[in-house]
Amino acid sequence: MLFPDLFHLAIDMMVLFVFILLGPGVMVGLIARKKRLMGNLSSGLGWSAAYWVSLAFVVASGFIALAAFFV
């Protein structure tokens, strides 16, 4: 049996959800920087850097959790 109980299933789904949200996360980051699309609401350099660093942290934690799954 792949998932012995619901707890492991929930944890595995949370890890999978990190990778599912990677595509939309990148798209939001790219769109938010476009002055032509966002006008005066486009994100500046500081906000953009903070967004990409936080997205990289979330993806890195997903890879760490995925590596722990196979150990």
List pLDDT tens digits, range 19-62: 999 999 999 999 999 999 999 999 999 999 999 999 999 999 99
Instruction: Kindly give, in sequence order, each residue whose CB lies less than 8 Å from that of residue 18, ignoring residues fewer than 6 positions away.
Output: 58, 59, 61, 62, 65
User: Could you tell me if residue 65 is inside a domain?
Assistant: yes
Stretch (H or E) spanning 53: helix 45-70
* Band (3; pLDDT cuts 50, 70, 90): low
User: Could you tell me if residue 63 is inside a domain?
Assistant: yes
Structure tokens at 38: 């966002």
**Reduced to 3 DSSP states, what percent helix, strand and coil does the chain have, rounded to the nearest 5?**
85, 0, 15
User: Could you tell me if residue 51 is inside a domain?
Assistant: yes
pLDDT at 70: 78
* Band (71; pLDDT cuts 50, 70, 90): confident
Q: How many domains does the chain have?
A: 1
Count of CA atoms in the C-beta half-sphere (13 A) of 15? 17
pLDDT at 1: 56
User: Could you tell me if residue 19 is inside a domain?
Assistant: no
Q: What is the mean pLDDT of residues 8-29?
A: 91
